[in-house]
Amino acid sequence: MKRSVSDILCSKMVSSLYGVLFAVGLCAPIYCVTPANAPSGYTHHSSAKSTPASQVYSLNTDFAFHLYRRLVLETPSQNVFFSPMSVSTSLAMLSLGAHSVTKTQILQGLGFNLTHTPESAIHQGFQRLVHSLTVPSKKLILKMGSALFIKKELQLQANFLRNVKRLYEAEVFSTDFSNPSIAQMRINSHVEKKTQGKVVDIIQGLDLLTAMVLVNHIFFKAKWEKPFYPAYTRKSFPFLVGNQATVHVPMMHQKEQFAFGVDAELNCFVLQMDYRGDAMAFFVLPGKGKMRQLEQTLSARTLRKWSHSLQKRWIEVFIPKFSISASYNLETILPKMGIQSAFDKNADFSGITKRDSLQVSKATHKAVLDVSEEGTEAAAATATKFIVRAKDGPSYFTVSFNRTFLMMITNKAIDSIFFLGKVENPTKP
């Protein structure tokens, strides 16, 4: 017997909150030289260490590595790439409408100790973080934004609407979910536009029970401080996948001064490459068979140690030219990190709407990364900056990223990771 739409809706005590957490990173890679002063890295101000923003930045880094370890378990022997900043910002924004256990689990899952850090301070820290990413820069593009697509009939709490706009600068769109395919098209079009075409069709399978879709996007495009010269890229270079298999990849090549260090304790090489502007990338190459040991020890403290200990020196570096992407269903991953209530029938989002019971039915995250020689400027300009030095030039250390390595994109002034990934096989998009 066929059931009408009204029968279906009436039979459901819980409306669905379809949470979409996603990010995209576009790096037009760039070769870097560290500024002439001392070891480069994050800018730390002693007076800022106890501010809400500094707490958010540091805990975001620990959350990034916590989520990374979980993604590695979920997708063994595969490339991993995501934006921890996008995920944590989306969860923090969602917590504005959560109450009781649901709120506690979200904020504790992000790493906050609620007896030491008031909720207001948490949102104040995220507010500063979000605002810092909306300041335009001529040297790089870094944009993060949030949007709520809300069912027309849903009566939202005024306080929730006010806070998501004020603290997270979110856009809010009244949406007709009675035609799921049209609503899906509208949301996907918004995402595609905001990410300059890099993320398409992120929403799949909306249904009549969908009450709200939460979208967060982050887009990054930058040029290396000194681009790689394409003529020096080796078209086919062996890259070790796993313990025995080998694939061939285009391998970029550069000889210059880089911020570089060897972490004897963790048995890895750490290379910092600067982008024009405040962003930088860390490439981390563990010793053979030492990746798991490295992954287990990653923390905000580890990153700070590297930032302060790297020294500028002559390096010959080989880095693959590659494009990778990854998608994750966070509704199956976050509960394993303690954020459970939001995804089950016990969810309490009465801070969003009192009239309807909501729960998160879906949380999708998608990230894309492109690494190549050039930025957006013509390659001809970079050729004049690349000098082939005489044989009697300075001695240099050679490091080749020809096996599984980690990559992080961060900011010199913010202790937060924009993007984090593991390149297991650079030939798999």
Examine the domain organization and report whether 401 and 254 are in the same domain: yes
Span 319-344, average pLDDT: 90
pLDDT tens per residue across span 220-230: 888 888 788 89
Contacts of 181 (CB under 8 A, 6+ apart): 206
Write down the pLDDT at residue 394: 57
Beta bridge partner(s), residue 326: 367
In a domain, 202, yes or no: yes
On whether residue 3 sits in a domain, the answer given is: no
The answer to the question of residue 179 being in a domain is yes
Render pLDDT for 233-290 as a digit per residue (tens, 0 to 9). 999 999 999 887 999 999 999 998 999 999 999 999 999 999 888 888 999 999 999 9
The answer on pLDDT for 135 being more than 50 is yes
**Domain shared by 177 and 138, yes or no:** yes
Average pLDDT over the chain, rounded to whole?
Answer: 80
pLDDT at 103: 96
129 CB-near residues (< 8 Å, 6+ apart): 53, 56, 57, 60, 85, 89, 414, 416
Distance (Å, rounded) from C-alpha 408 to C-alpha 82? 10
pLDDT-derived band at 46, boundaries 50, 70, 90? very low
Is the model's pLDDT at 52 over the cut of 80? no
- What pLDDT band is residue 4 in, cutting at 50, 70 and 90? very low
Strand segments, DSSP code E, in 354-429 are 358-371, 397-400, 405-411, 417-423
* 155 plus 189 within the same structural domain: yes
Q: Which two tokens stand for residue 117?
A: 């850090």
User: Mean pLDDT, to the nearest integer, of 375-398?
Assistant: 39
DSSP state of 230: G
The domain of 237 spans 230-320+377-423
H/E stretch holding 164: helix 158-168
**Hey, what are 286's tokens?**
């563990």
pLDDT of 374 reads: 57
| Total domains, the chain | 2
pLDDT at 14: 40
pLDDT at res. 15? 41
pLDDT grade for 423, boundaries at 50, 70 and 90: very high
Asked, for residue 416, whether it belongs to a domain, the answer is yes
Task: Take residue 125 and report the two structure tokens written for it.
Answer: 């820290």
Give the tens place of pLDDT for each residue, 300-321. Answer: 999 999 988 999 999 999 999 9
412 with 328, same domain: the answer is no
- Is residue 150's pLDDT more than 60? yes
Q: State the pLDDT at residue 378.
A: 21
Burial of 181 (0-12, 13-18, 19+ CB in 10 A): exposed
Task: Identify whether 35 is part of a domain.
Answer: no
**For residue 7, is it within any domain?**
no
The pLDDT value given to residue 381: 19
- 113 and 64 in a common domain: yes
- 344 lies in the same domain as 260: no
pLDDT exceeds cutoff 70 at 20? no
Domain membership of residue 250 (yes or no) is: yes
11: left (phi over 0), alpha (psi -120 to 50) or beta: alpha
Domain boundary residue among 353, 370, 387? Answer: 370
Structural domain includes residue 410: yes
Instruction: Provide mean pLDDT across the span 26-49.
Output: 31
Instruction: Say if residue 80 is in the same domain as residue 185.
Output: yes
Quickly tell me which residue has 């089950």 as its tokens.
Answer: 344
199, 329: one domain:
yes
pLDDT per residue as tens digits for the range 73-124: 999 999 999 989 889 999 999 999 999 999 999 999 999 999 888 999 999 9
Q: Among 131-135, 303-307, 344-348, 400-404, whose mean pLDDT is lowest?
A: 131-135
User: Is the confidence at residue 39, as pLDDT, over 50?
Assistant: no
pLDDT band, residue 155 (cuts 50/70/90): confident
| 204 and 235 together in one domain | no
Express each pLDDT in 173-216 by its tens digit.
898 988 989 988 998 899 888 888 888 888 887 888 888 888 88
Task: Answer whether 150's CB lies under 8 Å from 172's CB.
Answer: yes
Q: Do residues 122 and 269 both lie within one domain?
A: no
Distance CA 210, CA 360 (A): 10
Sequence-distant (≥ 6) Cβ neighbours of residue 99 within 8 angstroms:
348, 349, 350, 351
- CATH number, domain of 303, equals 2.30.39.10
CA distance 415 to 351: 30
**Residue 363 shares a structural domain with residue 385:** no
3-state SS record for 47-116: HHCCCHHHHHHHHHHHHHHHHHHHHHHHCCCCCEEECHHHHHHHHHHHHCCCCHHHHHHHHHHCCCCCCC
Cβ-in-10-Å burial (0-12, 13-18, 19+) of 251 comes to buried
The answer to whether 20 touches 202, Cβ cutoff 8 Å, is: yes
Instruction: Please check whether residues 237 and 151 belong to one and the same domain.
Output: no
C-alpha dist (Å) from residue 137 to 14, 141, 277, 347, 412: 44, 7, 8, 40, 14
CB of 200 within 8 A of CB of 175? Answer: no
CATH code at position 188: 3.30.497.10
Helix, strand, coil percent content, the chain, rounded in steps of 5: 30, 30, 40
Roughly what angle, to the nearest 10 degrees, separates helices 52-74 and 84-95? 110
CB 22 within 8 A of CB 194: no
